[in-house]
Chains A and B, each alone.
Chain A
Amino acid sequence: NAGVTQTPKFRILKIGQSMTLQCTQDMNHNYMYWYRQDPGMGLKLIYYSVGAGITDKGEVPNGYNVSRSTTEDFPLRLELAAPSQTSVYFCASTLPFAGENTEAFFGQGTRLTVV
């Protein structure tokens, strides 16, 4: 198992450009999440999904869009990049029930700079 894979690891965008952050998991997890982490801060939830075809807003969704066409993939789209979106982005996945194997798996992060 590869776990949660995020691409790219680093990206520099110009203001107004768009991009998609990719997130894929191979553990058949129902729940997937996108977080952003600003310097010296905790993680804030952008969007989450409880299964294919179902997405919902988190704490800071403005400026982002997501889709969940398959269980494996949960891409995050930035349509018009702004300097305020400079951050490190983490994707995560979990199973929706308790158990010995319950764990939150995280991608390695995408460091995005908007200039």
Chain B
Amino acid sequence: AQSVTQLDSHVSVSEGTPVLLRCNYSSSYSPSLFWYVQHPNKGLQLLLKYTSAATLVKGINGFEAEFKKSETSFHLTKPSAHMSDAAEYFCVVILYNAGNMLTFGGGTRLMVKP
């Protein structure tokens, strides 16, 4: 069974418009949740993380994510997209009722149109 699901494989926005990348997880316990970004031919860069402190998490480059336990979601948002935000985004989870394994979502490719 899929433990973490990114609901959109591709998202396209215009520069200056809001970004929403969706992530849902399945776990009986509160997980640790992360968003990573990967630019073409680059490694993985941590955008932000949730580790049971504040449910609204601010990250780098203006990104935010809100942990909603009732909805088992951790969606990534940004008020205004920039061309440099075009990249692949991964929702990553450590599930503490599944052997504490690091689990990746399938990724969402964000495209930003001028």
Which residues of A are at the interface with B, using a C-beta cutoff of 8 A?
31, 33, 35, 41-43, 45, 48, 50, 90, 92, 94, 96-104, 106-109
Contacts and interface: CB of A to CB of B under 8 A. Distances in A.
A99 B101 CA distance: 15
Secondary structure call for the A interface = loop
Nearest to B108: A42
A115 B37 CA distance: 30
B43 A102 contact: no
Interface of B: 30-32, 34, 36, 43-44, 46, 49, 51-53, 90, 92, 94, 96, 99-102, 104-107
Contact of A108 (B34, B43, B105): B43
Nearest to A107: B43
Contacts of A35: 104
Contacts of B96: 97-98
7 contacts: A31-B102, A97-B100, A98-B52, A100-B53, A102-B49, A102-B51, A103-B46
Contacts of A42: 90, 104-107
